[in-house]
Structure 1
Amino acid sequence: MKEILERALRSLTPKRREEALTHVSYANEIASPVNNERLEFLGDAVLYLAVGRILFERYPSLSEGDLTRMRASLVSGAALAKIALEGGLGDLVRLGKGESASGGRRRPRVLGSALEAVIGAVFLEEGWDRALALVRDIYAGKIDDSVPVDPKTRMQELVQRNPGSTLEYRVVKVEGPDHRRLFTVACLVDGKEVSTGTGFSKKEAEEGAAEAYLRRVTET
């Protein structure tokens, strides 16, 4: 990660690189109007779009809800801070004396902001394609870890912990007109109904039944 971010910083003009690495606390200390807040604002938008595009292309079968949850996890403050820390940005960012003395170089907000500022700077100077490539490099190997496991798979894994147990989904009710049928599906473990789910397709109802049982088990 350090090599990726160092390469991105080297590609910038000295003036833009300095801006991306200047925290507002340092700028205030030397009475300078130059800090990385505007680049952070731009980088946040670029990162959001880039991660969205990467996920859209990589996982064509995932729902909008799953993609949204994955993106939220990948661009969260904690995730960005971890990436920035791995890349050594905490040692490079210019901080005011007070901010530095109070642990600013490891503060998640400072680290995440610096990372977004670098992405914003790359976008400004080198364009969308280079910014997208940078985001791809940053998240290489990290995105697959955030793929959500669907409820039916989790349910199957849970049941398989008990050798010999069986799992079955059974349609117990169908309502509504032909073009808008609502299915109710029962989830059965060892022949015993443990939960139900509804949906406008059998798959949706089965996932709902599995999710209902998993939620109940988690809460108890």
Structure 2
Amino acid sequence: MAPYYSKKRKTIMTSSPPADSKSTAYAYGLEIINVYGVIEPTSDLQINMQHSVAAVESILNYRFKNKSLLEAALTHSSITDGLCYERLEFLGDAVIGLAISNFVYVNYPHLDPGQLSKIRAANISTEKLARVAVQHQLYKYVRHNKATVLSDKVREFVNAVEKEEYTVVHGGQMRAPKVLADIVESIAAAVYVDCRYDLQLMWPIIKDLLEPLVMLDVLEKQPQPITMLFEACQREGKRLDIKHRRKGEKDIASVYVDGVFIAYGSSETKENAKLHAAEAALSKLKLLKTEDAMLTHTFSGVNEDADIEAAKRKVHELCNKKKWGKPTYRIDQELGPAHDKRYVSSVQIETSDKIFRGIGKERSKIKDAENSAASVIFCSLQNSDYV
């Protein structure tokens, strides 16, 4: 094999060139003489792509067997040389959804389909994936027509996310640009194809990229504000209206309860404006409820070690009968080592003027801990003057 070298550096490469020797030589940013003795010019695009592939491989902690897959995943449609991430983005959208579904289904057998759907939706949303692109600065490695991709909206979103003090689950102050989510989806698909379509091989690599995943505990701390607001008004038998108007580039949403203005929120999109308005309204209504001296009654310490069979169902039926709010469960404590976990659950029921809370006993399974909490509150309510 003839030697190859950098013409300007005058650096003789005496070893046989690797399969992608052209790309390796381009990394020097100079003309090269290939193995056939022909001078080939370099290009800034090729130099940048070589750097981008290496950088993203480092972020993923994964080396591609077929680097052209990652090159395509990092090429926007504004580049017209044949490569583009659109097909990979199409595949990646489905692959991430399937991988997340598989992960939560296997690891959280106690969750019902509604809870599983909430977790999946939170982790495959444009909002979440766009933030992943910002977190790892993946947008810096995309080959593109700058005027098309690196718009003011992308820069503004990056700046907004970097200033956030806590993880945003349901929507920030501005709309997440879809192009950022597309980047993550196309990279996920590139890994999937490079792993010979093996989801089990692909998932650990992409899971690390998506971390921290939005799990049930986060969703419970930051529940969907609009759903919470509708449920709160429904429990109280009140009429909820959310009205929209446009002011310049902002959408303004106003919340009315029984015709009375409560709060408003604004954003670039109608959806996020509604979210922010609902959050503001919930805070206002919660304050008003506190001022109305709403009482909380906590039950615990039931002596019987045996739990009532089907206690959760019985509590649910009691709430329906009394027209109370739907009981909500949460895990208050997680005890013991990983191989011998113990859980303490609580359940809360809201009425028009009271909150009932039951705290269960330690149990080895989450569903049993929830049933224990249900047993406590059911027995306590049955033996009290409240029912």
Please indicate the TM-score interval, normalised by the length of the shorter structure: 0.5 to 0.7
The 1:74–1:212 alpha-carbon spacing in structure 2 relative to 1, beyond 3 Å, is farther
Whole-Å separation in 2 of the counterparts to 1:123 and 1:101: 27
Among 115, 122, 126, the residue aligned to 2:184: 115
Aligned to 1:26, the other structure's residue is in SS state coil
Whole-Å separation in 1 of the counterparts to 2:217 and 2:123: 8
Amino acid at match of 2:73: A
Q: Does 1:25 align with 2:96?
A: no
Aligned to 2:220, the other structure's residue is in SS state coil
- Structure possessing the higher radius of gyration over alpha carbons: 2
Q: Which residue does the alignment assign to 2:144?
A: 95
1:21/1:94 contact within 8 Å kept? yes
Q: Gapped runs of 5+ residues in structure 1?
A: 152-157, 169-180, 188-192, 198-204
Return the structure number with greater relative CO, CA threshold 8 A, min gap 6.
Answer: 1
Q: Which residue does the alignment assign to 1:190?
A: none
Among 315, 319, 331, the residue aligned to 1:185: 319
User: After TM superposition, which residue ranges in structure 1, 4 or more long, deviate above 6 angstroms?
Assistant: none
Among 117, 130, 135, the residue aligned to 1:86: 135
Q: Does 1:39 align with 2:93?
A: no
1:42-88 CA-partner distances (Å, limit 9, x unpaired): 11111000011111122211110011011101111010011111112
- Using the size of structure 2 for normalisation, the TM-score is 0.39
Q: Does 1:48 align with 2:108?
A: no
Aligned to 1:90, the other structure's residue is in SS state helix
Amino acid at match of 2:83: V
Q: Which residue does the alignment assign to 1:154?
A: none
1:41/1:117 contact within 8 Å kept? yes
Among 318, 324, 327, the residue aligned to 1:196: 324
Amino acid at match of 1:185: C
Q: Does 1:166 align with 2:297?
A: yes
Seq. identity, %: 27
Aligned to 1:5, the other structure's residue is in SS state helix
The 1:12–1:118 alpha-carbon spacing in structure 2 relative to 1, beyond 3 Å, is farther
Aligned to 1:196, the other structure's residue is in SS state coil
1:87-131 CA-partner distances (Å, limit 9, x unpaired): 121100111131245245756311110110011011111132221
Whole-Å separation in 1 of the counterparts to 2:151 and 2:327: 52
1:4/1:138 contact within 8 Å kept? no
1:139 deviation in Å? 3.5
Among 199, 204, 218, the residue aligned to 1:133: 204
Aligned-CA RMSD value? 3.8
Q: Gapped runs of 5+ residues in structure 2?
A: 1-55, 159-175, 224-285, 300-313, 330-346, 356-387
Amino acid at match of 2:213: K
Whole-Å separation in 2 of the counterparts to 1:110 and 1:23: 9
1:210 deviation in Å? 5.6
2:60/2:206 contact within 8 Å kept? no
Q: Which has the higher helix share?
A: 1
